[in-house]
Chains A and B, each alone.
Chain A
Amino acid sequence: MPRLASRPADVGQRFEVAALVAVAALLVLVPILRLVETAVDEGASQYGAVLTAPGLGEAVRTSLLLGVVVTAVAVPLGMVTALALRQPQLPGRGFWRVAVLLPVLVPEFVLGYSWQQAYGRAGFTDTLLGVPFPGVVGPVGVVVVLVVNAVPIAYLLTAVGLAARAEPDLERAARASGAGSLAVLRTVILPLLRPSLAAASVLVFVVTLASFAVPQVLGAPAGVDTVTTRIYADLSLGAHPNSFVEAVTLALLLVLLAVVVVAPADAVLGPRLRSVRVADSGGSPVAVGRRSGGGWVALGLGSYLLVAVGVPLLALAGASVTRAVGLPPAPDNWTGDHFSQLLDQRTFEAIGRSVGLAVVAASLLTVLGAAVAVLERRRAGRSLATLVTLTLVLPGSTLAVALLIAYGRWLSGLWLILLAYLAKLWAFAHRPISGALDRLPPGELHAARASGATAVTAARTVALRPLAPALVAAWLVCFVTALHEVTMSALLYGPGSETLAVVVLNSQELGRIGPTAALSVLLTGLMAAAAAPLWLAFRRLGAASSSDRELAGVR
């Protein structure tokens, strides 16, 4: 009987899974296969020339070196931040938890450009204090800004690891067994965090490998080429006859490098990272006296954020209202010209396209993400979830080149950009919804069914409300990310399909400092406006869970 009764549902599930697999194939698998095919077909005869092209080896080495150095610096910094923000005596802990994520909310491109405006020649510190840091444009600047950009990623993964694995009682048990705080860190916390730190290292390495905007803004002018900037140069400038084949080869190489790092890590870490359990009792593990280093930690965090984000954004704002380069950003030198120059049709169209694309992409992605999150709970859908998660490490440049080859003949720039967003950000929508489904106690749905609700009614009346913040968060994360995406958009746009981020990049390449700064301020403002509700959504999510925990931990 049960077998007969479950058969129609089985068929339905298989159809749903098949439909999603088809979408994933169109978005990711087909383009990647076409990329490989093209590389084999067209590249075979020219490999000798492509692989020995001047500067190519250097670009690959630079990309790898950047990945290693940024990972080696950003992951420990992220971990230290997560440990510091766990201290209950830190004044304004809630504020700092949001503040350390600021670098992620500033578009990568804007961050790079604002550092140049802050610390470069004729920049903020140069005109005001006479202290320039010319190294900002060059390899050092690229590393530092990529580190600033990557620390929040490492922090988030470590903080999640701490919350999931380092239950306060484990630390208390170590202290009560005679371990001092350093011994606890060495013998308990670090071993518990090992999987999270490894995951953070892999992610930071891959994100750095795939990064384009920062190397383009701070590296390219100093002659520092990476694989991604070279792909961009190959496709947008097409300087030599082998450019296209070189771009295709580099795109493949990039994904191969990512896979070489990710595959073993996923094999070893995957099962350990997927079994997420939320730590039991709340409260801080060991609260020390009131007079302890909280103030110093706050001072350190504040100084870091001031140097990393505060001064650069201030410099950017300054440059956007200052009449000419090299003038101090004093009121006498202020002008609204750069902003009024932007008030043309091209900018408005770009804003409209960016917002429109982001809205459509975020809406479709929320549906796709939710679909995978629901289906992965059944056996047939699990591989689909793995595939979607893997798109996280698929470099944007590779995806863009692959989509261009697969569909460029039929689809215009805007459609290609939309497809690229859908493929690249699917995992962004999937993760929060899947996480929220994990936290939904199965008993609640069962109780609704046992009280007479159908599956749909149970989902609507019991599950939708607790899932709503996650759905909103998924939509907003996709919207915000799509809004400032530049790596893929810069490769895929055509005449009449520039997004705002592409307009900013082009403006910077033309050396128009004031207007670029004004555009950057505009883009950051748009991001901030979109991120504000995201922050509120997270606060609601966090408030619900942390108030439960605090209540439980009080006594």
Chain B
Amino acid sequence: MSGDLLELRHLRVAYGSVVALGPVDLTVAPGEVLALLGPSGSGKSTLLHAVAGFQPPAEGEVWLHGHRVAAPDRAEPPERRDVAVVFQSYALWPHLSALDTVAYPARRRGFDRASARRQALGILERLHIDHLARRRPAELSGGEQQRVGLARALAREASLFLFDEPTAHLDTHVRSVFLAELDARRRASGAAAIYATHDAEEALGLADRVALLDAGRVVQVGTPAEVYDQPVDRWAARLTGIASVLSQDGRRLLVRPGWARLGGDRDGTVRAAWFRGPHSDYTVETTHGEVLIRASGRPRHGIGDRVGWSLDHSWDLAGDDALDQPSTSAGPD
């Protein structure tokens, strides 16, 4: 219906008596990237497993290309679904070289070994890892293994990529290079993607839309700007970035680091100061609670200094009543 590539209708997944996901209703349009953002245990992998066909739904349906591919009584096996998966664990077969790993999907489509390998080599060249073609997983670094994993997914030529926290095991510097590669290749293929992650920066940076997941339920879906600027509650605010919550006139106000400035007619006391390289972060105690303020350059104030500050922007967390928690989530990152 309505031209969506993927549609989850009231999907619920259970392992025995433990409900791990749902009910969830979500759609992904052709070419769109949907990020699933949630802490570990929130059901991200379970949702991907249900879409890939690794786990049947306990309730609800999965529709792909307008066809129902999974329901409690009947599920298409993974190999017949038009999806490709990149795993957190890389999931490279230890007995196959990088070349044969990437040739695997073409072999399953019926190509002979030589032409499957030719295609695989082409993909490895595009990812600039053709020099690794003969190596087995044990001879590859984590970043190289995940690039081979990405190459294998590209070789599947699917309309939907499922990325299951693909950068979770990668070092920070390898991660950014890999993400850029992933984004570029995914765009070039024109395929849609669901990208599961617990990293807000990755989700906000990569996705067209972000779905926030908590305990198996979708808490909010929106564009990256919407979920960052207008989170539905304090939990969603914290999940999507650094959040200070001030109480003022009986309301709960979300303040992101860039929304408040040093200098102004409001009074406060510096309780902590961190140098972050390009900028500095201050935790300032005010009459409305603690607020995190970001300023360029090195710290100019020390702990205990009285400072003036002003508020450019805030977001009213309607209905937020979780008052027992400290209001600022900033800390040494």
CB within 8 Å of B: which residues of A? 165, 167, 169-170, 172-181, 183, 187-188, 191-192, 194, 280-281, 283, 285-291, 550, 553-555
Mask of B275-296 contacts with A, CB within 8 angstroms, 1/0: 0000000000000000000000
| Chain B residues, Cβ within 8 Å of A181 | 77
| Chain A residues, Cβ within 8 Å of B85 | 172-173, 176
| Chain B residues, Cβ within 8 Å of A177 | 79, 84, 104-105, 108, 152, 155-156
Interface hit among B2-10, B89-97, B126-134, B201-209: B89-97
- B71 CB, min distance to chain A CBs, angstroms: 9
List CB contacts (< 8 Å) of B66-88 with chain A: 72-75, 77-79, 83-85, 87
With an 8 A cutoff between CB atoms, is B55 at the interface?
yes
| Chain A residues, Cβ within 8 Å of B18 | 554
Query: What is the chain B residue whose CB lies nearest that of A183?
Result: B108
A180 to B79, CA, bound (A): 6
**Do A191 and B95 touch (CB < 8 A)?**
yes
Given contacts A176-B78, A176-B85, A179-B79, contact A289 B91 (CB under 8 A): no
**Do B79 and A188 touch (CB < 8 A)?**
no
**Do A283 and B93 touch (CB < 8 A)?**
no
| Chain A residues, Cβ within 8 Å of B156 | 176-178
List CB contacts (< 8 Å) of B208-244 with chain A: 216
| Chain A residues, Cβ within 8 Å of B55 | 287
A463 to B145, CA, bound (A): 35
Contact of B78 among A172, A192, A280, A291 (CB under 8 A): A172
| Chain A residues, Cβ within 8 Å of B91 | 167, 169-170, 172-173
| Chain A residues, Cβ within 8 Å of B78 | 172, 175-176, 286
**Do B41 and A555 touch (CB < 8 A)?**
yes
> Could you write out 8 A-B pairs with CB less than 8 Å apart?
A169-B87, A169-B91, A172-B91, A175-B54, A187-B104, A550-B15, A554-B46, A555-B41
With an 8 A cutoff between CB atoms, is B56 at the interface?
yes
With an 8 A cutoff between CB atoms, is B269 at the interface?
no
Which residue of B85, B108, B149, B152 has the most chain A CB atoms within 10 A of its CB atom? B108
- B145 CB, min distance to chain A CBs, angstroms: 12
A181 to B78, CA, bound (A): 10
Given contacts A175-B53, A287-B54, contact A555 B94 (CB under 8 A): no
**Do B41 and A178 touch (CB < 8 A)?**
no
Query: What is the chain B residue whose CB lies nearest that of A285?
Result: B54
| Chain A residues, Cβ within 8 Å of B77 | 175, 180-181, 286, 288
Contact of A176 among B52, B89, B92, B95 (CB under 8 A): B52
With an 8 A cutoff between CB atoms, is B45 at the interface?
yes
With an 8 A cutoff between CB atoms, is B247 at the interface?
no
| Chain B residues, Cβ within 8 Å of A174 | 93, 104
Query: What is the chain B residue whose CB lies nearest that of A281?
Result: B89
A298 to B42, CA, bound (A): 34
| Chain B residues, Cβ within 8 Å of A170 | 91-93
A173 to B42, CA, bound (A): 22
| Chain A residues, Cβ within 8 Å of B95 | 191-192, 194
Which residue of A192, A287, A550 has the most chain B CB atoms within 10 A of its CB atom? A287
A285 to B79, CA, bound (A): 13
With an 8 A cutoff between CB atoms, is B109 at the interface?
yes
A226 to B72, CA, bound (A): 57
Known: A169-B87, A175-B52, A178-B109. 16 other contacts (CB 8 A): A169-B91, A172-B78, A175-B79, A176-B85, A177-B79, A177-B156, A178-B79, A179-B108, A180-B77, A191-B95, A281-B89, A289-B72, A289-B75, A291-B73, A554-B15, A554-B18
Which residue of A172, A176, A191, A285 has the most chain B CB atoms within 10 A of its CB atom? A176
With an 8 A cutoff between CB atoms, is B40 at the interface?
yes
**Do A176 and B93 touch (CB < 8 A)?**
no
| Chain A residues, Cβ within 8 Å of B268 | none
| Chain B residues, Cβ within 8 Å of A192 | 93-95
- B297 CB, min distance to chain A CBs, angstroms: 40
A283 to B109, CA, bound (A): 28
With an 8 A cutoff between CB atoms, is B257 at the interface?
no
- B119 CB, min distance to chain A CBs, angstroms: 13
**Do B75 and A555 touch (CB < 8 A)?**
no
**Do B108 and A178 touch (CB < 8 A)?**
yes
A57 to B15, CA, bound (A): 59
**Do B87 and A173 touch (CB < 8 A)?**
yes
| Chain B residues, Cβ within 8 Å of A178 | 79, 105, 108-109, 156
| Chain B residues, Cβ within 8 Å of A176 | 52-53, 78-79, 83-85, 156, 162
Which residue of A172, A179, A288 has the most chain B CB atoms within 10 A of its CB atom? A172
Mask of B145-166 contacts with A, CB within 8 angstroms, 1/0: 0000100100110000010000
A133 to B250, CA, bound (A): 89
| Chain A residues, Cβ within 8 Å of B72 | 289-290
